[in-house]
Structure 1
């Protein structure tokens, strides 16, 4: 029986011996429209994802409306924008949450969120959120982690920018605070992240260091990093989603469209299935083809008493004769009877 660590979210068991848990991150790609946010839940549910995630904050709970250089972004997708301005655009209003949770329930898909302060944790708790996601930038906010953990639900923690000591501190705060298990997601907090920076081998390393399920929060273009992470032992994949990149949105540039996300879900689950187990046994599906392996056959007529040579015996398909490993043993041996071209070689055919 597997001893790999597990958690459960809404009755779904998550661990290395389970199919990957794929989270569809809506983020701020609703573009300020509740109608679009609801349509995104419909489209996300149709991809076959295991869960949909939103973000719960206001511009004022996540930052300050202050005109200082450190409150302004330099470089990347959001170059020149103030934090408050960006979050004002990207926030999912608190008054939308009940409708979003209701729509996800109607579609039969799990919905939870990333809280960014205690008011967000309380709101989500009141809506019955089955888990909490701690974003990379909040992984060092141990009071927030402890507050969310006290709700007794699992916590999924992204580890972008965090060193090993910070990851362990966040995990310990969650477990000591009462969380029903922790998942740690390797993450590169760059938007978008370059494939060369993805370093998904970190997923496998995290699995050896921490007694928790591990996964990947993927900000790269495409799905290659996510599928590679499955091969490295990822139990959870999180990827951003949009109805159409052309529609714009804070995270649209590195988000997958519905058809792409459907492929991501399929490819991740297929990759996990393909991993199987390490073994060297003959599979049932191979058994019928075993007869077509190579073996020793008579390739020219041989009279009784004549020796076998490379001119009249060699390794060919199918596999009804002696194994090719015996070729040197049979060369030079006389035929016990007349041998016809096309006969599989057997020991009783040799004198």
Structure 2
């Protein structure tokens, strides 16, 4: 998969998405600062969500529209989305700023009118949220734009994920990635089941990433070690500024540290290799080998008492000990001398 000039997949740097969501708090200036901060932290991309309360739901007080538990407990859906949404008139401004500072700009549309608006501002690729995984008409419409797509799979069964994948690949050849996701806010670490990433890579044969709602960076770094090619984390400027998503978002210091740790993880993973590093070449000197541990006079037989396997590795390899026992010293051998065949008759 390729996003603009970046390759996504095995052997490529992990693609880091900073999710702004509602952390702008209704202020365009804060949204711009979040975008700039994501760039400064080393993120590859800033993501926004594109909806209005009316494109997401209806204004109703019926029990179906009330949130009963979790971060947004006792809130009405319509009222929540009214607070959390990103005004559409901001999107072209944010994209222009993203282009100016050279950070990718990704958007999650939640209905077809959002897709149409994003097409007008020249969006390069799309994200499908976990809750919309089963909205096949929306997925089909987005896929028809023939642009790369990233799809979160929270709550998805294999059958639901497969149907979304089949819908996309039947419409587009522009690239697809799936994100393992636990749709809880915040998500408990013990419910992440990150080993699923390995199975998803084999099962779907596309780059797999992680949309991570856990606190901290351990899940993201573990996911990279398991082969994740994309990491998405919610991002805010300051947790002291409370917003709908701030409680499970990273601040700049946390995001920067996570990205640094991911880059170190990539270096540590390296490649499959049994070759020695330069450092290991030197360390080989401190393996064990056979040394004289007592002074041995010329003509004396070698025994377990006067030669031993010790560090360092300047003598014969330990496997030669049995063959040496009973041999005769060709010359005087001083204690601490590495044993080699030139010293033995």
TM-score calculated relative to the size of structure 2: 0.97
Work out the CA distance in 1 between the residues paired with 2:266 and 2:102.
23
- Cα distance in structure 1, aligned partners of 2:196 and 2:320: 47
* Aligned: 1:315 with 2:297: no
**Aligned equivalents of 1:35, 1:282: Cα separation in 2:** 52
Alignment of 1:196 with 2:190, yes or no, is: yes
The partner residue of 1:302 within 287, 296, 303 is: 296
Residue 21 (structure 1) shift: 0.4
How far is the alpha carbon of 1:44 from its aligned partner?
A: 0.8
Query: Are residue 20 (structure 1) and residue 14 (structure 2) matched?
Result: yes
For 2:43 and 2:236, locate their aligned partners in 1 and report how far apart those are by CA, in whole Å: 14
Cα displacement (A) at 1:312: 1.9
- Partner of 1:215, secondary structure, is strand
Displacement, 1:269? Answer: 2.1
Q: CA deviation at 1:147?
A: 0.6
Which segments of 5 or more consecutive residues in structure 1 lack a partner in the other structure?
1-6
Asked if 1:61 is matched to 2:55, the reply is yes
Deviations 1:273-317 (A, max 9, x none): 211122222223422332232211112110122222233222222
- Matching of residues 255-294 of structure 1 within 5 Å: 255-294=249-288
Q: Does the aligned pair in 2 maintain the 1:149–1:179 contact within 8 Å? A: no
User: What's the counterpart of residue 45 of structure 2?
Assistant: 51
Q: Which residue of 1 aligns with 2:141?
A: 147
Choose the corresponding residue for 1:37, options 26, 31, 39: 31
SS at match of 1:144: helix
The residue aligned with 1:345 is: 339
Contact 1:155 1:179 in 2 (8 A): no
CA–CA distance in structure 2, aligned partners of residues 310 and 34 of structure 1: 81
Question: Conserved in 2, the CA contact under 8 Å of 1:151 and 1:179?
Answer: no
Q: Return the offset for 1:179.
A: 5.0
Larger displacement relative to structure 2 (170-179 or 284-293): 284-293
TM-score relative to the length of structure 1: 0.96
Determine the C-alpha separation between the residues in 1 that align with 2:33 and 2:99. 14
1:4 maps to: none
Give the structure 2 partner of residue 126 of structure 1.
Answer: 120
Query: Is 1:137 aligned to residue 131 of structure 2?
Result: yes
Compare 306-315 and 163-172 and name the one that shifted more: 306-315
Q: After TM superposition, where is structure 1 displaced by more than 4 Å over at least 4 residues in a row?
A: none
Secondary structure class of the residue paired with 1:204: helix
Q: Secondary structure at the match of 1:228?
A: helix
1:185 alignment counterpart: 179
Number of the residue aligned with 2:95: 101
For the residue of structure 2 that corresponds to 1:247, the secondary structure is coil
CA contact (8 A) 1:25 1:241 kept: yes
Matched, 1:163 2:157: yes
Q: Deviations over 1:38-70 (max 9, x none)?
A: 110111110111111010000110111111111
Displacement of 1:122 in angstroms is 1.2
CA deviation string 1:230-260 (max 9, x = no partner): 1111001101101111211111111111011
Moved more, 102-111 or 157-166: 102-111
Q: Are 1:328 and 2:289 matched, yes or no? A: no
Deviations 1:119-147 (A, max 9, x none): 11111112121110000000101110111
Partner of 2:75: 81
User: Hey, what's the Cα distance between the residues in 2 that align with 1:325 and 1:155?
Assistant: 58
Q: How many residues align?
A: 345
Work out which of the residue numbers 222, 225, 228 in structure 2 matches 1:228: 222
- Asked if structure 2 preserves the Cα contact closer than 8 Å seen for 1:150 and 1:179, the reply is no
Aligned partner of 1:208 in structure 2 is 202
In the aligned structure 1, how far is the partner of 2:318 from the partner of 2:54? 76
Structure 1 residues 48-104: Cα deviation after superposition (integer angstroms, max 9, x where no partner): 111110100001101111111111101111000011111111100101111111111
